[in-house]
Amino acid sequence: MGEAVDYQSFPLVSGETTELEFTVTDNDNAVVDLTGGSGRFAAARTPLDASLVLDSAASPATATIQVVNPLAGTVNVILADTVTDDLSGDYYWEFKWTDILGREAIIARGIMSFADNLI
């Protein structure tokens, strides 16, 4: 599939619903058609931590993947307020896309920092 990995960091607030938007592109910066594919989003305290605090593949899922426009390569990851309520501090995350042919690629990764919610 050959997508370019995008490193992103963002500040978030615990206890708030968060919607992260991604545009999947290849190494030539061309948009990837997401039709028939699927995504997985996961986060842990460190890249080597096997204990995931967020995982769209968990049962029940702690992150939701929503394809917004498959031909434009846009997809959202939604983290519900009830899921982020107990998160505080820094977490390493990755977002992987699997295309219709079964080819997998990490398309984005980074650090998200949760500040405690005041009220």
pLDDT at site 34: 97
**With 90 as the cut, is the pLDDT of residue 96 above it?**
yes
Vertex 39 angle, CA 26 and 101, to 5°? 65
pTM of the model: 0.90
Q: Which residues pair with 66 in a beta bridge?
A: 76
Residue 117 tokens, joined: 């919610």
Contacts (Cβ under 8 Å, ≥6 apart) of 82: none
pLDDT at site 7: 84
Cβ burial of 67 (10 Å; 0-12, 13-18, 19+) is middle
Band (5; pLDDT cuts 50, 70, 90)? low
Return d(Cα 100, Cα 119) in angstroms, integer.
44
Q: What residue spans define the domains of the chain?
A: 6-115
pLDDT at site 28: 87
pLDDT at site 46: 95
pLDDT tens digits along 62-86:
999 999 999 999 999 999 999 999 9
Can you list the alpha helix ranges (DSSP code H) found in the chain? Answer: 81-84
Return d(Cα 30, Cα 82) in angstroms, integer.
36
Identify which has the larger pLDDT, 119 or 21.
Answer: 21
Calculate the average pLDDT of the chain: 92
Return d(Cα 53, Cα 102) in angstroms, integer.
26
- 6-115 in CATH: which number? 2.60.40.10
